[in-house]
């Protein structure tokens, strides 16, 4: 194909891709609205609206012209950036053309209608009230996976929606290694005689907590011109490089929960805000995938926000807003106390968190593969909690109804949390190799060097590289759990003197 002809074809192709992206982002705004501010009675109309946008997005993605452009560009002499755009769009197009539009519409409408059903079931601690809806979602996602590739493990097909390049074998290997090496560490901690400090007692006003987390966002460098803070039952971040919003929630007895959740979502939003603005609408202006996205939130939440140098700099703000005039070491210990008896994933400590992920991974994999009936989920959930963490939920609200992900149909999402934690440690180590120890900068509230390093090595690339390529570009190494396990062992064996 002649150079000018290829350029003309690419420009038509890119215009189509941008429209496709804009439709998807509009649907994302509607989802944010539904989870944050929409009145309860708005669900019937919202489900129709999101269904219509999902169908339109699917039609744009499966358009015959898009397939023709992709075929023409396959043999064209494109620069690496355009080749990456073609690669990413081709992958999405080839998956989407195999899925009937009516199935996409049914999934969208069902998951939108599922949200209030789940909320009420969780509020009333009634899994049976959600079971039929969950069964319907599971069946629809099986159909979806079968349509894409009937000859492969349906769970693997769904996992690739969230992490297309590392592979399910990597997930299984990493989770097995985390389980094998973290469980003995957790056991040693439980046997330790060390009691970490807890300077918090009583309750803390929600307004005061909100002032604190807003100051934390300021402190870390959140761009309020392109973001906002709201509350949601399940904290999340969403948006684009022009509008990256965060949500949090407040526990009157545990203000560190809101602080940690907010810093976590800040990490997501900072990645989103750091994507190339001029590439908005194409994969070059989009995040790589959820493993990389989660690495950004975990890096800021754990390696920065749970560090002693962070509390050495931020302790005065905690005293100002909460009246807790505690030594930074005490705040550090409170933020890193290991609680194996904690039932709630989003409130779990840094170590036991991964056992929550293992549990969910095993259950959702068995559900999709047909090895577990929906009716069995509460019992299996409780048994695995007891096996992995030595605690058994008294209610389904504290157990299998606590997460929103299955309501969205997001089967395959959970493993990316652990993959992200592992990658966060590898990236932080690479940043310190380049910048030197970051403790002094974190102590002084100087976060620009770290944020700029992440921007240069991760954010600015968008989806130009595959996940494994991006990790090699940023760290000079293959993806490995070594850094996370060394970090976890060093930190927690020191804290608990084991």
Give the pLDDT confidence of 260-316 residue by residue, as tens digits.
999 999 999 999 999 999 999 999 999 999 999 999 999 999 999 999 999 999 999
Using an 8 Å Cβ cutoff, are 282 and 17 in contact? Answer: yes
pLDDT for 233: 84
Q: What are the beta bridge partners of residue 244?
A: 239
**Catalytic residue status for 35:** no
Nearest to 244 by CA among 286, 290, 201, 289: 286
Alpha-carbon span 110 to 38, nearest angstrom: 18
E strand or H helix that includes residue 111: helix 101-123
- Fold classified for 168-496: 1.10.1370
Q: Which helix (H) or strand (E) holds 247?
A: strand 243-248
Count, residues in the chain? 498
Average pLDDT of the residues of the chain: 95
Phi, psi of 224, rounded to the nearest 5 degrees: -70, -20
Q: Identify the CA nearest to 200 among candidates 94, 331, 78.
A: 331
**What's the half-sphere exposure (Cβ side, CA atoms, 13 Å) at 97?**
12
436 C-beta neighbours (distance < 10 Å), count = 11
Residue 3's pLDDT band (cuts 50, 70, 90): confident
In the chain, the percentage of residues whose pLDDT exceeds 70 is 100
Domain residue ranges in the chain: 3-152, 168-496
The pLDDT value recorded for residue 199 is 97
pLDDT band, very low/low/confident/very high, at 347 (cuts 50, 70, 90): confident
The predicted model gives 204-217 an average pLDDT of 98
Residue of 136, 265, 301, 333 marked active site: 265
pLDDT confidence of residue 390: 87
pLDDT digits (tens, 9 = 90+) for 227-246: 999 999 889 999 999 999 99
Q: Which of 418, 496, 442 is nearest to 171 (CA)?
A: 418
Give Cβ neighbours of residue 446 (< 8 Å, ≥ 6 apart): none
Contacts of 264 (CB under 8 A, 6+ apart): 235, 297, 298, 300, 301, 305
pLDDT of 225 reads 98
- Decide: 60 and 66 in contact? Cβ < 8 Å: yes
Opening angle at CA 154, ends 149 and 156, nearest 5: 100
pLDDT recorded at residue 1: 63
Angle between helices 3-36 and 64-74 (to 10 degrees): 130
Q: What is the pLDDT of residue 281?
A: 98
Q: Is the pLDDT of residue 414 over 80?
A: yes
pLDDT bracket for residue 104 (50, 70, 90): confident
Contact of 114 with 155, CB cutoff 8 Å = no
Report percent pLDDT > 90 for the chain.
92
Which of the four pLDDT bands, split at 50, 70 and 90, describes residue 143? very high
So what's the pLDDT on residue 380? 97
Find the mean pLDDT for residues 103-107.
Answer: 91
Q: What's the confidence (pLDDT) of residue 234?
A: 82
pLDDT category at 105 given cuts 50, 70, 90 is confident
Characterize the bridge pairing of strands 229-231 and 237-240: unpaired
């Amino acid at each position: 194909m002649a150079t000018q002809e290829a350029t003309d074809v690419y420009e038509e192709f890119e215009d189509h891709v941008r429209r496709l992206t804009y439709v998807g982002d509009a649907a994302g705004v509607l989802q944010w609205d539904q989870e944050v501010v929409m009145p309860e009675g708005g669900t019937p109309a919202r489900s129709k609206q999101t269904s219509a946008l999902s169908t339109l997005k699917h039609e744009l993605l499966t358009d015959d012209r898009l397939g023709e452009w992709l075929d023409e560009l396959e043999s064209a002499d494109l620069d690496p950036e355009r080749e990456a755009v073609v690669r990413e769009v081709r992958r999405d197009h080839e998956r989407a053309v195999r899925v009937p539009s009516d199935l996409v519409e049914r999934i969208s409408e069902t998951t939108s209608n599922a949200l209030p059903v789940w909320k009420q079931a969780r509020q009333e601690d009634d899994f049976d009230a959600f079971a039929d809806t969950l069964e319907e979602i599971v069946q629809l996602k099986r159909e979806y996976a079968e349509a894409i590739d009937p000859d492969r493990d349906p769970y693997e097909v769904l996992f690739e929606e969230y992490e297309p390049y590392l592979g399910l074998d990597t997930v299984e290997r990493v989770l097995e290694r985390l389980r094998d090496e973290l469980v003995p560490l957790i056991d040693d901690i439980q046997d330790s005689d060390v009691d970490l400090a807890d300077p918090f007692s009583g309750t803390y006003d929600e307004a005061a907590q909100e002032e604190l987390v807003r100051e934390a966002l300021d402190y870390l460098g959140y761009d309020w011109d392109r973001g906002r803070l709201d509350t949601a039952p399940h904290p999340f971040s969403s948006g684009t490089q022009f509008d990256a919003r965060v949500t949090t929630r407040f526990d009157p007895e545990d203000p560190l929960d809101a602080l940690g959740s907010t810093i976590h979502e800040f990490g997501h939003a900072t990645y989103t805000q750091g994507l190339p603005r001029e590439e908005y609408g194409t994969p070059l202006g989009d995040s790589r995938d959820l493993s990389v996205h989660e690495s950004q939130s975990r890096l800021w939440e754990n390696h920065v926000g749970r560090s002693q140098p962070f509390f050495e700099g931020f302790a005065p703000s905690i005293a100002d807003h909460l009246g807790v005039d505690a030594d930074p070491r005490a705040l550090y210990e409170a933020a890193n106390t290991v609680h194996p008896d904690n039932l709630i994933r989003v409130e779990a400590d840094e170590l036991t968190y991964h056992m929550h992920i293992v549990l969910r991974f095993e259950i959702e994999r068995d559900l999709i593969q047909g090895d577990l009936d929906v009716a069995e989920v509460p019992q299996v959930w409780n048994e695995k909690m007891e096996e992995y963490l030595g605690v058994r939920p008294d209610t389904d609200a504290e157990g299998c109804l606590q997460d929103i992900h299955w309501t969205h149909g997001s089967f395959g999402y959970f493993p990316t949390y652990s993959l992200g934690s592992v990658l966060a440690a590898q990236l932080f180590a690479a940043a310190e190799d380049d910048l030197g120890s970051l403790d002094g900068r974190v102590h002084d509230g100087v976060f620009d060097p770290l944020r700029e390093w992440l921007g240069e090595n991760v954010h600015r690339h968008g989806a130009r590289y595959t996940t494994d390529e991006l990790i090699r570009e940023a760290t000079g190494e293959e993806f490995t759990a070594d850094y996370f396990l060394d970090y976890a062992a060093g930190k927690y064996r020191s804290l608990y003197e084991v």
